[in-house]
Structure 1
Amino acid sequence: MHRITLALPLFLSAARAAIDLDVTNDSSIKDAASKIAGGIAAQYKSVLEESGVPGLFNDPHYWWQFGYTFNTLIEYAHLTGDNQYNDMTKEALLFQIGDLDAFMPPNQTRNLGNEDQAFWGLASLTAAEVGWENPEGKKWIDLATNVFNTQVERWNPEETCGGGLRWQIFPFNKGYNYMSSMTNGMFFLLSARLAKITGNETYSEWATKSYDWARSAELISEEYSVWDGTDADSNCSEINKLQWSYPRGVYLEGSAILYNMTEDDKWKEATEGFAQTELFVEEEAGVIIEPACEWNEKCNVDQRAYKGIFARSLARAAVSAPFLAETSNKILQASAEKAAERCDGEGEELECEFTWADGQEGFGLGENTNALQVIQGLLYSKAGTGSGSEGGENEDREGGEGSEGSEGGANDNSPSETDSANSPQETGAAGRTQITWAGLILAGALAAFTV
């Protein structure tokens, strides 16, 4: 994920029309979400018509954000019942799978990070959770499992920072030595969600291992602050203490899932700790903010999408841990109202502002997805996450209704027999043939010179 500050156009929000939204009315919420989803889909179709490459939006946005946006559209269909963008989304995901069936397409090698890959893996996992029909010859759950397996293979040896995942996959990419909370938080969330849907202890063991590493490396403080990252070159001895909303959100969601599964006090304490979100909520308006860059108007194209990730995880965490529901709903309602007020246009002309309080403005894919996530997030309390168990009783405790699948009917999204998870001590991964570093580096190097 690149972090490049971009100059974006500024407009006066007072001159903009708004999307009507009554945050207490499900029909109004779905209607508002429909307008934004329609705009995002129209913008994507316009880019697709010109490029002919499924799965990509326009510059200056990056590949991770495309996977996140398609994940948002899968959730949109689950939460609203509007399936009109499902075929478009399936085509995008399948086109970007890559040779290893693990969302590592050769044309992304030059900037492909573990974090980027995880966003697409989570999109595939969401498709499995909500019961999407499997594509021919593949399973949505297997694609997500493949991402997990490749990332387990990249876990640092004990002598380097005591473990953890690096930001970048390939050593020849800038940022390879950085150990970010976002990368490790996404692996933690992927592991927790795989544990939930499969009931397989390998995934919960790796979620715990990842979380414990982040605590020991002090990326997560005693007070549950989540710092930006550290550097493997210094053996993770120095911490970059910037705080972003998105890693806080994914650690909250993953902890809530594990608490839902285990009722372990460790995960209850973690859930409560990460739920201390005051830093990311503007006091007067009660809306989500990005404090590290919003007030000084220096949020770059990546950072302008973080609030939507945070809102999504906040909504989903409250399904797994209902004691969060009152606080979560209060933040989501206030933020959704402001987000709707600051959207204008429709179809390709849709523009939603970045700021929901007073701060940096500007428009783009991240801003539109932020608005969709926070508005449709109001529906999770009734729809649930869709992440039922494949291997035993494991429904959302006191949560929503689950999902019968947007395609209708039963759908086997349990992992294939050859991909089923085994003990980490036996294979170091979830039962797949180990993929060597040499092979990955060679494949990446070849791709980098052929793009």
Structure 2
Amino acid sequence: MDIFLRAFRTFIAFHLLFSYSLVDALGLDLRSTDSIKSTSRTLAESAIKYYDGNKPGGTPGMLPAVGEFNWWEAGALFGQMVEYWYYTGDNTYNDITKQALLFQAGPDHNYEPENQTRTEGNDDQAFWAFAAMSAAEMKFPNPDPKQPQWLALAQAVFNRQAGRWDSKHCGGGLRWQFNPLNNGFMEKNTISNGCFFQLAARLARYTKNETYADWATKTYEWMVQSPLISNKTYEVYDGFSFTEEKCNTQPGPVQWSYNIGTMIAGTAFMYNHTNGDPKWKERLSGYLNNAQKVFFPEQYGGKTMVEYACEGQGNCNKDQRSFKAYLARWLAVAAQLAPYTQSQIMPWLQTSATSAVKVCSGGPPGGVVCGRKWYVDQDDGTRDIGNQMTAMSVVQANLIKNVPSLADHKTGTSTGDASAGNGNRGKPTSADILATRKITTGDKIGAWLLTTLMVLVTLGWVAFLLSDRDNWDWIHIAYGGSTSHHWYGR
């Protein structure tokens, strides 16, 4: 009898220990679909509180305070809200999500809104395209027929970016920025090219049009022969610069979770599209194995996601704070598209979700707030939308086995347009004109004459001002001085 009693007590102890690992202060119980949905709902509410573009005076699709440089993250947020509906069935945020995705598509319906021309890069544009593509794949409620449709929006971005393929420098690839006036125009990075690869792969799977598959293969093969990716170790680096004469073959040494995430997703879509081609299986497995070493390090148990390049030092910038959200999202879709990966991926998502909610605190009426470091047992006190997006993403990703397969052209409902790109106006944007138009001799002469005229006018105006010493005080004040210093020696 004592033996049976001890065995029973041992069973209870292990049961309680296991239960504790699956149930946290927010009530997350990974054994319960309803619990995962409930926690996802709480975290979605906490993330959307950062958004006010749907309120009077706001701009639909724009996040407040951080300005236009956060445009891409807003696209990522609304892509995540599409997934939230797909995972949970909760349509609370569908209207504001649809409003944001359509408004930011811009007048040409290609996610090149005019207020972003001085900051938008290929990677930024791609995150909005991903949101539209997810809406098509997940059968998110379609827009009114008079408005642009989800699949067509994604195709429009693909067409725009395919037209920017740069074979003249470094053998191919996309530049980071497509506006020549932007910093990054002379750089090629992984996220821009990885996103283009992923978008092409997703369109190939959805439409079964092999042109997209050819572009996915072409982009992948260029990336692995470039400094961006090691074809042997599947290490994924960030980017490199180039000049008109040569390429810098030394990429940045840092690996970021969203870079490898987009490669994991892209190879998973190609694996699925090709019905399990061993070539794409080998590549997908290679990236997953590298992710294990870098982003799920044994130092923290081997299953908790870590943005290793900045979390330990506490210096993640506003972009990097949300990177884990995208790796979590793309790991989930890889597990769905390539079921053989589930035994490797699901423990990462489960442990990371449990760890993420342990560093969340609060509740009604103030709402839940989450820390950044999941590998510690207490909230680190950091606060921003990136923290909320990452926690929400990794929790709801655990529902991936409970949702329908992603749609394609046979099962989907979204209308496409293979020629989309220039929208209603049917002409390129000013940025594209700058990037593609050849400079003629007439242009050079006109520019020289205009510059000379401007210089003469400026010199004449300065001479006029200096001719009257009463104007000197005004000049000094205008340039930040103070008349009390009498710097002009009066």
TM (normalized to structure 1)?
0.83
Of 408, 425, 429, the residue aligned with 1:389 is 408
Structure 1: segments with no counterpart, 5+ residues: 1-16, 392-409, 420-428, 445-451
Paired residues of 1:230 and 1:238 also in contact (CA < 8 A): yes
Of 31, 34, 38, the residue aligned with 2:38 is 31
Q: 1:299 to 1:441 in 2, by over 3 A?
A: farther
Offset of 1:202 from its aligned partner?
Answer: 1.0
| RMSD (Å), alpha carbons | 2.5
**Alpha-carbon separation, structure 2, partners of 1:81 and 1:411:** 17
The residue type paired with residue 272 of structure 1 is S
Of 201, 211, 215, the residue aligned with 2:220 is 211
Offset of 1:282 from its aligned partner?
Answer: 3.5
Whose radius of gyration is greater, 1 or 2?
A: 2
The residue type paired with residue 268 of structure 1 is K
The residue type paired with residue 219 of structure 2 is S
Deviation readout 1:347-373 (Å, 9 max, x if unpaired): 764321111014975111111000011
**Alpha-carbon separation, structure 2, partners of 1:153 and 1:267:** 26
Paired residues of 1:258 and 1:267 also in contact (CA < 8 A): yes
Of 346, 358, 364, the residue aligned with 1:341 is 358
Of 173, 192, 206, the residue aligned with 1:164 is 173
Paired residues of 2:325 and 2:390 also in contact (CA < 8 A): yes
Q: Which residue of 2 aligns with 1:13?
A: none
Deviation readout 1:291-328 (Å, 9 max, x if unpaired): 11111111111001101111111111011111110111
**Alpha-carbon separation, structure 2, partners of 1:85 and 1:104:** 24
**Alpha-carbon separation, structure 2, partners of 1:243 and 1:25:** 34
Q: Which residue of 1 aligns with 2:59?
A: 53
Q: Which residue of 1 aligns with 2:486?
A: none
**Alpha-carbon separation, structure 2, partners of 1:370 and 1:293:** 15
Of 257, 264, 279, the residue aligned with 2:294 is 279
Task: Say if 2:401 is the partner of 1:363.
Answer: no
Deviation readout 1:353-410 (Å, 9 max, x if unpaired): 11101497511111100001100000112215x422215xxxxxxxxxxxxxxxxxx8
Q: Which residue of 2 aligns with 1:150?
A: 160
Paired residues of 1:150 and 1:435 also in contact (CA < 8 A): no
Q: 1:439 to 1:303 in 2, by over 3 A?
A: closer
Q: 1:239 to 1:443 in 2, by over 3 A?
A: closer
Q: Which residue of 2 aligns with 1:377?
A: 397
Q: Which residue of 2 aligns with 1:177?
A: 186
Task: Say if 2:457 is the partner of 1:440.
Answer: no
Paired residues of 1:79 and 1:379 also in contact (CA < 8 A): yes
Q: Which has the higher contact order (CA 8 A, sep 6+)?
A: 1
**Alpha-carbon separation, structure 1, partners of 2:360 and 2:266:** 30
SS of corresponding position for 1:62: helix
Q: Which residue of 2 aligns with 1:88?
A: 96
Paired residues of 1:295 and 1:360 also in contact (CA < 8 A): no
Paired residues of 1:148 and 1:191 also in contact (CA < 8 A): yes
**Alpha-carbon separation, structure 2, partners of 1:352 and 1:156:** 42
SS of corresponding position for 1:272: helix
Further displaced range: 250-259 or 336-345: 336-345
Further displaced range: 161-170 or 336-345: 336-345
Counting matched residue pairs gives: 397
Aligned counterparts, 1:11-22, within 5 A: 18-22=25-29
Q: 1:443 to 1:23 in 2, by over 3 A?
A: same
SS of corresponding position for 1:356: coil
The residue type paired with residue 86 of structure 2 is H
The residue type paired with residue 174 of structure 2 is L
SS of corresponding position for 1:239: coil
Offset of 1:340 from its aligned partner?
Answer: 1.2
Task: Say if 2:201 is the partner of 1:192.
Answer: yes
Task: Say if 2:314 is the partner of 1:313.
Answer: no
The residue type paired with residue 100 of structure 1 is D
Deviation readout 1:85-137 (Å, 9 max, x if unpaired): 10110001111111221111111112101000000011011111111333222
Q: 1:179 to 1:360 in 2, by over 3 A?
A: farther
Q: 1:361 to 1:267 in 2, by over 3 A?
A: farther
Of 91, 107, 112, the residue aligned with 2:120 is 112
**Alpha-carbon separation, structure 2, partners of 1:269 and 1:201:** 21
Q: Which residue of 2 aligns with 1:422?
A: none
Q: 1:291 to 1:360 in 2, by over 3 A?
A: farther
Q: 1:72 to 1:219 in 2, by over 3 A?
A: same
Deviation readout 1:160-219 (Å, 9 max, x if unpaired): 010101111201001111111111111111111111111111111111111001001131
The residue type paired with residue 158 of structure 2 is F
Paired residues of 2:136 and 2:407 also in contact (CA < 8 A): no
SS of corresponding position for 2:110: coil
Structure 2: segments with no counterpart, 5+ residues: 1-23, 437-490
**Alpha-carbon separation, structure 2, partners of 1:236 and 1:107:** 32
Q: Which residue of 2 aligns with 1:398?
A: none
Paired residues of 1:40 and 1:348 also in contact (CA < 8 A): no
Paired residues of 1:99 and 1:105 also in contact (CA < 8 A): yes
Of 365, 370, 389, the residue aligned with 1:352 is 370
**Alpha-carbon separation, structure 2, partners of 1:127 and 1:356:** 29
SS of corresponding position for 2:240: strand
Paired residues of 1:318 and 1:325 also in contact (CA < 8 A): yes
Q: 1:204 to 1:433 in 2, by over 3 A?
A: farther
Q: Which residue of 2 aligns with 1:396?
A: none
Deviation readout 1:14-47 (Å, 9 max, x if unpaired): xxx94221122111100000001112223324x5
**Alpha-carbon separation, structure 1, partners of 2:217 and 2:385:** 33
Task: Say if 2:241 is the partner of 1:231.
Answer: yes
Q: 1:434 to 1:180 in 2, by over 3 A?
A: farther
Paired residues of 1:134 and 1:411 also in contact (CA < 8 A): no
Paired residues of 1:170 and 1:441 also in contact (CA < 8 A): no
Paired residues of 1:21 and 1:337 also in contact (CA < 8 A): yes
**Alpha-carbon separation, structure 2, partners of 1:317 and 1:190:** 14
Paired residues of 2:40 and 2:396 also in contact (CA < 8 A): yes
Identical positions, percent: 38
